[in-house]
């Protein structure tokens, strides 16, 4: 599935670069992803018995997207790939940002990050990745004292479970904790 997602995202990226509209299409993709965060919209896309999902979805957004983006989305619906749409758009936006020396770090934590924590994390990741980093923070109460960070193809697992396993490994090796 990841290969399929990357193929579609790459095709949209190539088109955007060819037309010199990478940022414009990226902004439209961001707009669409925001709309797809709505549960009703997701249910529409995932429901197997709704005829002409593409027509309903595209009709709702036609005034807000370019002809090329409309044609791309039509292809997605024609090929019955609508359940992968968010992943495709996310991958496309990441490709555009990579070309601009920008990265989006998706941060999942049990509690909301403070403004100071967000800024400190953004600065640390910017330094490590040598890119301008934008933080996309999500709250997942089930994370319980944990933080997951997805940034520019890297995954940082700073969970309680991970730290306990590392501590146990250190003790087995005779390292001080």
User: In this structure, are 91 and 110 located in the same domain?
Assistant: no
Query: Quick one: 128 and 85 in the same domain?
Result: no
Note whether 81 and 160 are same-domain residues: no
Confidence of residue 167 (pLDDT cuts 50, 70, 90): confident
Residue 48 shares a structural domain with residue 123: no
Question: What pLDDT score was predicted for residue 24?
Answer: 93
> Is the domain of 8 the same as that of 85?
yes
CA–CA dist 161, 55 (Å, integer): 46
Domain that holds residue 126: 101-173
Helix and strand totals (H; E) in the chain? 8, 4
Question: What CATH number has the domain bearing residue 27?
Answer: 1.10.520.20
The reply to whether 78 and 112 lie within a common domain is: no
β-pair partners for 132? 102
Tokens found for residue 172? 């087995």
How would residue 71 be classed by pLDDT, with cut points 50, 70 and 90?
A: very high
Q: What is the pTM of this model?
A: 0.58
Domain count, the chain: 2
Q: Does residue 112 sit in the same domain as residue 88?
A: no
* Residue after which a domain boundary falls, among 79, 96, 113: 96
Reported as a single tens digit per residue, the pLDDT across 13-49 is 999 988 999 999 999 999 998 888 877 777 777 777 7
Average pLDDT taken over every residue of the chain:
84
Strands 132-139 and 102-109: parallel
């Amino acid at each position: 599935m990841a290969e399929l997602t990357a193929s579609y995202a790459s095709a949209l990226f190539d088109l955007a670069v060819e037309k010199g509209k990478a940022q414009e299409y990226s902004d439209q993709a961001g707009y669409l992803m925001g709309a797809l965060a709505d549960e009703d919209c997701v249910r529409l896309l995932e429901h197997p018995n709704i005829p002409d999902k593409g027509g309903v979805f595209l009709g709702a957004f036609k005034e807000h997207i370019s002809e090329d983006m409309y044609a791309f989305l039509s292809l997605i619906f024609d090929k019955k790939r609508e359940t992968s749409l968010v992943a495709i758009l996310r991958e496309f936006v990441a490709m555009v940002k990579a070309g601009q020396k920008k990265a989006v770090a998706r941060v999942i934590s049990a509690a909301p990050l403070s403004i100071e924590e967000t800024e400190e994390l953004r600065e640390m990741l910017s330094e490590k990745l040598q890119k301008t980093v934008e933080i996309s923070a999500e709250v997942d109460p089930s994370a319980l004292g944990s933080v997951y960070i997805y940034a520019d193809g890297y995954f940082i697992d700073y969970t309680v479970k991970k730290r306990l396993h590392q501590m146990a490994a250190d003790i087995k090796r005779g390292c001080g904790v």
